[in-house]
Chain A
């Protein structure tokens, strides 16, 4: 039996350690407070696209605890309690995600900036990632709206809701997929994004996509307009999504509505029922300061920086030999 050995090489593990050290000094120099929040919670992510792993805690209630999919909610509780700018390197867990660029357990770097909007945070993300990609030649950062990216790379306005236009675009790009309903516009958007748009993003430079459809706001605030746009952004390099950030939603009532929508969708999709995070919602009631936050996939960044083909290659022990 040889699978006791690490999968990543020692050279890679040393590069990983250097990367974590650069991150620590970056936030140390900028004066953000490093925090740690629980991996186990009584509440699970309500987002229908996220599946939480469950475990048991033999404490007084003996009920299930969920492994967090991101440290977002407890970090926002700290912000509401007056922590000021905070950052965290967290091991997070997502069920059902396994592939060349997905691993059910991975390292997420998450940080929050008080009084900032998503544009200012995009600049800081760029600063950090550029530092971590020291030695790589990068052209000037490209900043595109979600709509611009679709028009440039898929030849389609993503705010069109007419199913015929999506069918035509999918056919034009030679995609064979029969699983999406006509009404599932976000499904069509995700299909074209992953198959057609993403491979063009971040080639030879970092690309930031912002102003997402309001239906994909997740935890970002929405700017009312025609169409309404979510103040959300993602960072890409070499066609791979590396970070997702928001000008954070602070409106407790709106947040409750989104959680309710999530729960309705989960029921419709036959997904496991989960308990929304009541303490997170209470923190929003108490008042989350205006802020922007972002989460960055450290393993993916490392994989690309080292020119490795698979996320497994930067992990000491991938799940199959964990």
Chain B
């Protein structure tokens, strides 16, 4: 695997730190008038999601992490795992609950997700930005109430709960932004 010197650090670079794959979020070069230069780096641990700041002596090198983002289609879930497939090679990947994280609440099947693989093992899954899901539970709709701006919770078929306008009813199909968990619009079948 490649080794990266501090002067190659930039946001997005994937490196190994304390045995875990990490992504550099931000890199700042600092140097006193005379003396030792440092790189102050904000990193995200790709296994745990933890973000922290680490300082390196400029000129030090660290090992790169074999991490890649790939688009996989979600097929189905069983008791233990979520199963994904690469559309061109039909290669399948199984993802555990830790790597799935909160993403599970948006998936019902056939969504194209970004799966981060480390040495070909899934680390995390990002749902499509927008999904369309059916409302399975919510208070009765207030017909025609499109003006008051009031909201109520609604449970979707995948279990996600989002805030929706008062006119939404059970059985409605909703377009939702998975990044913010926000309702966007009703969708006609």
Interface assignment of B143: CB less than 8 Å from any CB of chain A = no
Task: Enumerate chain A residues within 8 angstroms of B54, measured Cβ to Cβ.
Answer: 176-177
Binds B, one of A93-101, A250-258, A276-284, A301-309: A93-101
Question: How many Å lie between the Cα of A241 and that of B38 in the bound state?
Answer: 15
Q: How far is the CB of A148 from chain B (nearest CB, A)?
A: 17
| Pair B33/A194 contact, Cβ less than 8 Å | no
Contact with B along A99-137 (1 / 0, CB 8 A): 111100000000000000000000000000000000000
Task: Enumerate chain A residues within 8 angstroms of B35, measured Cβ to Cβ.
Answer: 49, 186, 189-190, 216
If A97-B29, A99-B29 touch, does A191 touch B7 (CB 8 Å cutoff)?
no
Closest to B38 in A: A194
| Pair A99/B36 contact, Cβ less than 8 Å | no
| Pair A177/B56 contact, Cβ less than 8 Å | yes
Contact with A along B31-66 (1 / 0, CB 8 A): 111111110100000000000111111111000000
Task: Enumerate chain A residues within 8 angstroms of B38, measured Cβ to Cβ.
Answer: 177, 190-191, 194-195
Interface assignment of A47: CB less than 8 Å from any CB of chain B = yes
| Pair A49/B37 contact, Cβ less than 8 Å | yes
| Pair A191/B36 contact, Cβ less than 8 Å | yes
Task: Enumerate chain A residues within 8 angstroms of B32, measured Cβ to Cβ.
Answer: 190, 193-194, 198, 241
| Pair A218/B55 contact, Cβ less than 8 Å | no
Task: Enumerate chain B residues within 8 angstroms of A190, measured Cβ to Cβ.
Answer: 32, 35-36, 38
| Pair B56/A244 contact, Cβ less than 8 Å | no
Interface assignment of B87: CB less than 8 Å from any CB of chain A = no
| Pair B29/A194 contact, Cβ less than 8 Å | no
Q: How far is the CB of B44 from chain A (nearest CB, A)?
A: 14
| Pair B55/A234 contact, Cβ less than 8 Å | no
Task: Enumerate chain A residues within 8 angstroms of B29, measured Cβ to Cβ.
Answer: 97-102
Interface assignment of B28: CB less than 8 Å from any CB of chain A = yes
Q: How far is the CB of A271 from chain B (nearest CB, A)?
A: 9
| Pair A195/B36 contact, Cβ less than 8 Å | no
Closest to B29 in A: A99
Range class of the A interface residue count: 20 to 34
Q: How far is the CB of A287 from chain B (nearest CB, A)?
A: 25
Q: How far is the CB of A241 from chain B (nearest CB, A)?
A: 5
Task: Enumerate chain A residues within 8 angstroms of B7, measured Cβ to Cβ.
Answer: 96, 98
Interface assignment of B142: CB less than 8 Å from any CB of chain A = no
Interface assignment of A3: CB less than 8 Å from any CB of chain B = no
Q: How far is the CB of B3 from chain A (nearest CB, A)?
A: 15
Name which of B31, B36, B54 has the most chain A CB atoms within 10 A of its CB: B36
| Pair B34/A47 contact, Cβ less than 8 Å | yes
Closest to B39 in A: A99
Interface assignment of B184: CB less than 8 Å from any CB of chain A = no
Question: How many Å lie between the Cα of A191 and that of B40 in the bound state?
Answer: 10
Interface assignment of B151: CB less than 8 Å from any CB of chain A = no
Question: How many Å lie between the Cα of A175 and that of B37 in the bound state?
Answer: 15
Interface assignment of B187: CB less than 8 Å from any CB of chain A = no
Question: How many Å lie between the Cα of A195 and that of B28 in the bound state?
Answer: 11
| Pair A218/B34 contact, Cβ less than 8 Å | yes
Question: How many Å lie between the Cα of A239 and that of B84 in the bound state?
Answer: 50
Interface assignment of B30: CB less than 8 Å from any CB of chain A = yes
Question: How many Å lie between the Cα of A258 and that of B142 in the bound state?
Answer: 83
Closest to B54 in A: A176
Interface assignment of A28: CB less than 8 Å from any CB of chain B = no
Closest to A194 in B: B30
Q: How far is the CB of B86 from chain A (nearest CB, A)?
A: 36
Q: How far is the CB of A240 from chain B (nearest CB, A)?
A: 10
Closest to B53 in A: A176
Closest to B43 in A: A176
Interface assignment of A187: CB less than 8 Å from any CB of chain B = yes
Question: How many Å lie between the Cα of A141 and that of B28 in the bound state?
Answer: 29
Closest to B59 in A: A96
Question: How many Å lie between the Cα of A186 and that of B35 in the bound state?
Answer: 8
Contact with B along A279-304 (1 / 0, CB 8 A): 00000000000000000000000000
Task: Enumerate chain A residues within 8 angstroms of B58, measured Cβ to Cβ.
Answer: 96
Question: How many Å lie between the Cα of A218 and that of B32 in the bound state?
Answer: 13
| Pair B30/A216 contact, Cβ less than 8 Å | no
Task: Write 16 A-B pairs (CB below 8 A) sorted by A numbering.
Answer: A49-B36, A96-B59, A97-B29, A99-B30, A100-B28, A102-B29, A102-B31, A177-B56, A179-B56, A190-B36, A194-B30, A194-B32, A194-B38, A195-B40, A195-B55, A218-B34
The 3 closest A-B pairs by CB, nearest first: A99-B29, A177-B55, A179-B57
Q: A97-B31, A179-B57 are in contact. List 14 more A-B contacts (CB 8 A).
A: A96-B59, A98-B7, A98-B29, A99-B30, A100-B28, A100-B29, A177-B56, A191-B55, A193-B32, A194-B32, A195-B30, A195-B38, A195-B40, A216-B35
